Structure 1
Amino acid sequence: MALPLRVLLVEKDEEDLELIAQELERGGFEAEIHPVAIERDYLTQLEAGHDIIISNYALMQFDAMRALEILKEKGLDTPLIVIGGKVGEELAVECIKQGAADFLLKARLNRLGQVVKRVLQESKIEREKTQAEASLHEGASLYRQLLEFCPVGIALVEQGNVTFVNRSGAHLLGAASPKQLLEKSLAGFAHADSREDLEKRLQESDLESNKATFLQEKFVRLDGKEITLELEALLVTNSGHQAILLVMHDITEREREQG
């Protein structure tokens, strides 16, 4: 069964148009071809959407390089195959560098069908990859927002320094914003009497990745107020590096009531 294919064809020679149509049919495609020979018509057809673009390397008023340039300007990912006559290898390489999916000599036009199939498959894979990356980025962004607005203090510590802290965590330590705590030593906020103990207990080698370690330490806020925090420490991986995820609870009032 022939595969439907919408083709934007940058070509004006009637014989070449016919040859390309025949090769696409021979390659197993039911091609709907929209030929253009000038930039204005090319721009109009781009708005209609096509599965693939096939362009003569050089026409009198329009060429493949300009066609590729327009695709970049518009941020379109429609694959473009360049067809040329007797051109040097350097020109073919330059077309690929500028974003062409492939370069095919007119003398090898009988390979057009298989080239189109390969290019379409590669384009599909690349599009799916881009969509997957966008979904991951969107998910990561949502996850970060959830952390930012979580009412519980959360921080990430790498090599002893705070690399992330949410608003609640920043407020626990007396900071107006998380930026005030970034790249600062967490142990530096601990009370002098418990600083050494905290540093030892937060050694990454002593923590586990599947079980939280509970700590209770005294801290000194930026405003000088002493508080007692209960920490849940978990070993995690962040961008390929080990880090410590901390969940922080202020138990100062509870301690006073019990005392």
Structure 2
Amino acid sequence: MAETAAIHDMNKPMLGTLLHQGVLRIVMQRPERMNSLSSEMMAALSAELTQAAENPEVRVILLGAEGKVFCAGHDLKELTAARAEADRGRATYTRIMRQCSDLMQQIVRHPKPVIAVVTGVATAAGCQLVASCDLALATDTATFCTPGVNIGLFCSTPMVALSRNVAPKHAMEMLLTGESIDASTAKEFGLINRIIPRDYLDQVVQKYAETIASKSSQTLKVGKEAFYRQLEMPLSDAYDHAANVMVENMLARDAEEGINAFLQKRKPEWTDG
């Protein structure tokens, strides 16, 4: 995948990608369907993430969308159509919910940092998508909600990602009321990291991502994996795990290079090892 080259795979018309300075931009391109997480969209995103994991040129991933809606969650027309099946859609719903859960976990377990770039509405599983990313940047016009309760369908799977990002009472407020929150409230809740003026979004986001991309990719991989693993552990187990990670990290070539570069007051030369 060549630097600065725009890529549009005709086999994946739902996505557009651009790789520049180690930063891969993935853009959902179905604004007419509100970039909903249809089975096809989820398959396309998963395939792109798999390719990015295997591509050493990709160091950071930006996930954005065209149009006024970042992602409207599951494709309700697709789900409703399945009711005509003999089992009233049970098998289809099981498959789609599993596919969605696998995609969210793929993001969390991805070896590269994944950053959501939200310029519009992120609702239901779309909000889940934002919460599943490692970081999230948004414009001041972005909004977020988990409105399933309004249509008799509690946002149970979005709840998993949401409750791991924001305080329990904030999560329950979003889940029980189904009301939208603005970018400022989302930042206060801890759902997003920064709010960026729309006019400066592209350059600020690129610089932000390039700052992360300039680090050792091996160090980022080790750190990201350790971060999510220790979150689920009791305190003493978390410290034991983190200590073991630190020992192995200290023995890595990039740690040796980084420490030497710091002591010698020079820029490190990463080998990603």
User: TM-score range, shorter-chain basis?
Assistant: under 0.3
Q: Which is higher, the Rg of structure 1 or of structure 2? A: 1
Q: Tell me which protein shows more helix as a share of its residues.
A: 2
TM-score (norm 1): 0.26
Q: Tell me which protein shows more strand as a share of its residues.
A: 1
Of structures 1 and 2, the one scoring higher in RCO (CA 8 A, sep 6+) is: 2
